[in-house]
């Protein structure tokens, strides 16, 4: 009796283990990291409270800050430096695109079709009257239609950006850095004076 109870307990425990979800790490189960600093652009202005002032001469931009992040793909000093250079470059690129960009869009649809028909037949005569003649026929149709749709969007923005400098650089994650590039009207005026020296 005890052996039957033990056997029933083992079977129940095995059944419970078999019904649980399989713990298999797959690419589909991976999730993007949510521990990051969002990229953004901050503009400080003066005298731009209304649309009329915005379009007039009283409205002026005093400072612009642009923040961007980049992964380091490692924890070494070289990885951190390369990631910081990339993050600062992304920050400047974001501002350049914000100031104005050229957008080109191309849509291409290509459709190709291939059709192949293969047929063959053969007849075999046998001298044995009891067996008789044997015949076989083979026919094959192959149709292959392929449609390729390509959407290409190109965004480009170029321009000379003067007076920008990194104002904040920090490590924000295990393998991620952040860089904030800043421009101010005061620094731009000082650079204009420096170029005249």
Read off the pLDDT of residues 80-93 as tens digits, 9 standing for 90 and up.
999 999 999 999 99
Query: Where are the domains positioned within the chain?
Result: 34-195
CA distances from 194 to 62, 65, 91, 186, 191 (A): 19, 22, 25, 12, 5
Sequence-separated (6 or more) residues with CB below 8 Å from residue 60: 45, 46, 47, 48, 185
pLDDT of residue 39: 80
pLDDT of residue 169: 95
Average pLDDT of the chain is 79
Summarised one tens digit per residue, pLDDT across range 107-127 is 999 998 888 877 776 666 666
**What is the band of 191 on the pLDDT scale with cuts at 50, 70, 90?**
confident
Residue 137: pLDDT over 60: yes
Summarised one tens digit per residue, pLDDT across range 140-166 is 778 888 899 999 999 999 998 888 999
| pTM for this prediction | 0.62
Summarised one tens digit per residue, pLDDT across range 51-87 is 665 566 677 888 999 999 999 988 899 999 999 999 9
Tokens 């350049």 locate to 96
């Amino acid at each position: 009796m005890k052996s039957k109870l033990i056997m029933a307990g083992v079977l129940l425990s095995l059944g419970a283990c078999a019904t649980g979800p399989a713990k298999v790490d797959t690419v589909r189960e991976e999730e993007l990291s949510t521990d990051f600093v969002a990229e953004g652009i901050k503009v400080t202005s003066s005298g731009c409270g209304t649309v009329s002032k915005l379009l007039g001469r009283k409205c002026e931009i005093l400072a612009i800050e642009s923040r961007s992040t980049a992964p380091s793909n490692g924890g070494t000093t070289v990885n951190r430096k390369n990631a910081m250079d990339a993050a600062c470059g992304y920050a400047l690129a974001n501002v350049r695109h914000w100031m104005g960009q050229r957008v080109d869009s191309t849509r291409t649809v290509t459709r190709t079709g291939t059709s192949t028909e293969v047929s063959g037949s053969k007849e075999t005569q046998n001298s044995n009257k009891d067996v008789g003649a044997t015949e076989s026929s083979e026919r094959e149709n192959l149709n292959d239609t392929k449609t390729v749709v390509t959407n290409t969007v190109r965004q480009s923005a170029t321009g000379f950006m003067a007076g920008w400098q990194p104002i904040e650089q920090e490590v924000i994650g295990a393998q991620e850095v952040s860089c904030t590039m800043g421009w101010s009207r005061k620094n731009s005026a000082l650079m204009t004076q420096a170029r005249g020296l």
